[in-house]
Amino acid sequence: MVPAEPTEPMSRVLVLYTGGTIGMRKNARGVYEPVAGWFAEQIAQQPQLHDPTQPKFTTRPSASGRRIHYDVAAYEVPLDSANLDLSHWARFATDIERAYDDYDAFVVVHGTDTMAYTASALAFMLDGLAKPVILTGAQIPIERLRNDALDNLLGALGIAGHYAIPEVGLYFHHKLLRGCRATKVDAVGLDAFASPNLPPLAEVGVDVKVAWHLVRPAPAGPLRVHTRFDPHVASLRLYPGITRRILENFLAPPLAGLVLESFGAGNAPDRDDDLIGVLRAASERGVVIVNVSQCLKGHVRPSYAAGQALVDAGVVPGADMTPEAALTKLAYLLGQGLPLDEVRALAGRSLRGELTEDP
């Protein structure tokens, strides 16, 4: 069912600035770095983001007559997203939880490099999410004359403030993607993110088109935030010629979970060097191994003997999950202290729409 657009004339959105290019400035050596306070200063100066007839940080009315009042909360030390880790994800989730009842929606402003990881992690952490949480950022800082920052920010704010999409999304270059389906595909282009196995949840052109049939239903229960993640997870991209020793070393303690990025529809070498035996031994020892494809599109399905061998070794087929979703999901599931059989069963099922069951 398509939820009606809210009728109140104003929505309240909390903008959390975590760092990233969008709010960076060139330092003395001529390279971009995040500078505390700079993003908020830039936002305060953008005429498009403020209606002069209203209190500051209130937009002009949209085509449907709705204004958005937003507060900007910036972290003391804004970071290049390459420096974020599990503790930062937990902090973002906790801050959203604290402000949950005071706002209609949340925009998390973030560096693009690891945005897809944070989006996936937040999707798993924010269990029972009933409000939009939208990550966005930019390839060009907002201080530059020509930038994608303003467009991305306005688009994310607009969707957050108008559409009750109860999901963690990633808004970039006129598209809202499901966060746990998104991946960064371009280091320099402005259309930097893709969702190879799920169409966008919304597209912004002359009109905003929300694909309501793809949007997950609002949950019945309250928000529950899970911040415990197991840090002992890793990703390994298979390559022709990988040796048994390399694989054994990779799977050695303290590793608890592995995302195996395999070939094509989920295949691994099953002839030489007994690599499958190494994976089986690790599974038996309690390492949870999830198989996702190196291909951007498509899913893991044991249609070849080389793929079936992995299933027989206890490796969980990860369907069409992105490597980012698979890694954060494993860290999340292992962090919940569940029996390993349950972790394995849940790893192959859709918890937040991160994979297609029975494609």
Helices (H), the chain: 38-44, 86-99, 115-125, 149-162, 244-251, 275-285, 305-312, 323-335, 340-347
C-alpha span between 223 and 175 (Å, rounded): 26
**Consecutive H or E run containing 106:** strand 105-109
Choose, by CB under 6 A, the member of 78, 132, 137, 353 that binds ligand ASP: 137
> Given candidates 14, 107, 113, 172, which one binds ligand ASP under the rule CB under 6 A?
113
Segment contacting ligand ASP (CB under 6 A): 15-23, 216-224, 242-250, 271-279? 15-23
Contact yes or no for 20/80 (Cβ under 8 A): yes
| CA-to-CA dists, residue 267 to 131, 263, 288, 298, 356, angstroms | 39, 5, 17, 13, 19
Q: Which is nearer to ligand ASP, 16 or 313 (CB)?
A: 16
CA angle 209, 215, 221 (to 5 degrees): 140
Determine the Cα angle at 93 with ends 200 and 26, to 5°: 75
Main-chain dihedrals φ then ψ at residue 302, nearest 5 degrees: -75, 75
The three-class DSSP label of residue 260 is: strand
Q: Which stretch, 66-74, 75-83, 281-289, 293-301, contacts ligand ASP (CB under 6 A)?
A: 75-83
Regarding 183 and contact with ligand ASP (CB under 6 A), the answer is: no
Q: Which of 81, 118, 136, 147 binds ligand ASP (CB under 6 A)?
A: 81
State yes or no: residue 151 binds ligand ASP (CB under 6 A). Answer: no
User: Closer CB to ligand ASP, residue 115 or residue 129?
Assistant: 115
> Which of residues 42, 58, 136, 139 is near ligand ASP by CB under 6 A?
139
From 7, 18, 21, 227, active-site residue: 21
- Residue 18 sits in the site that holds ligand ASP (CB under 6 A): no
Give me the residues paired with residue 34 across strands: 24
For the chain, the distance separating the N- and C-terminal CA atoms, rounded to the nearest angstrom, is: 23
CB nearer ligand ASP, residue 1 or residue 145: 145
Of residues 112 and 262, the one with the C-beta less far from ligand ASP: 112
**Choices 3-11, 16-24, 42-50, 246-254; region in contact with ligand ASP by CB under 6 A:** 16-24
Q: How far is the CB of 20 from ligand ASP (least distance, A)?
A: 4
Contact positions vs ligand ASP (CB under 6 A): 19-21, 80-82, 111-113, 137, 139
